[in-house]
Amino acid sequence: MSVTIEQLRQEGKKTGYPQFKSGQTVKVHYSVKEGDKERIQMFEGLIISVNGNKELSQSIVVRRVSDGHAVEQGFAIHSPNIQKIELIKEGKVRQSRIFYMRERSGKSARLKEKFYSDKEVKEMIEKNA
C-alpha cells in the first residue's frame, strides 16, 4: 500500500476553522514554551492578509494596536502550536490585503463591522468542513 504526498498533507491539516478573510477580527490562542514551562497566550487583532488559501501552508498576518504601538504577527493556521482561533467580527473591506491600515490611526482606522453569533460561526465551520 503506497502513501501519496497528498494523503500526508491531509493528515496534518486542521479542521473546524471558518474561512479567513482580510478585515476579520480574530482571537488566536497559541502555545508558548519558555524554558521547560508551556502556556497558552492569546493574540487578538485584525487580519490584514491571508496567504495560501485552502492549503496546508495557509497563514494569516494579524495586526493589533495597544497603547499606540502596533504589533503584527504571522500565524501558520495548521501549526501544532495553534490551539484555537476564534472569529469575533468581520469588517467590510474591498481588498484582499489591507496594508493601508498601517498608516491609519484613530477614526480613519475603523471598518464597518458585522458581529457573528455562535450559531453563525458554527454554520460557517460546517460549510467549510
What's the order of all strands across the beta sheet hosting 59-66? 69-76, 59-66, 37-51, 24-34, 82-91, 113-115
Give the count of domains, the chain.
1
pLDDT of res. 19: 84
Query: pTM of the entire structure?
Result: 0.79
pLDDT in tens, 14-53: 777 778 889 999 999 999 999 999 999 999 999 999 998 7
| Range(s) of the domain holding residue 58 | 11-120
Mean of the per-residue pLDDT values of the chain: 86
pLDDT tens track for 54-106: 777 889 999 998 888 899 999 999 888 999 999 888 888 888 889 888 888 77
CATH number of domain containing 49: 2.30.30.790
Looking at residue 129, its pLDDT comes to: 64
Where residue 102 falls (left for φ over 0; alpha for ψ -120 to 50; beta otherwise) is alpha
C-alpha 91/C-alpha 108 separation (Å) is 13
Residue 29 within a domain: yes
Tell me, yes or no, whether 60 lies in a domain: yes
47 occurs within a structural domain: yes
> C-alpha grid cell for residue 10?
491531509
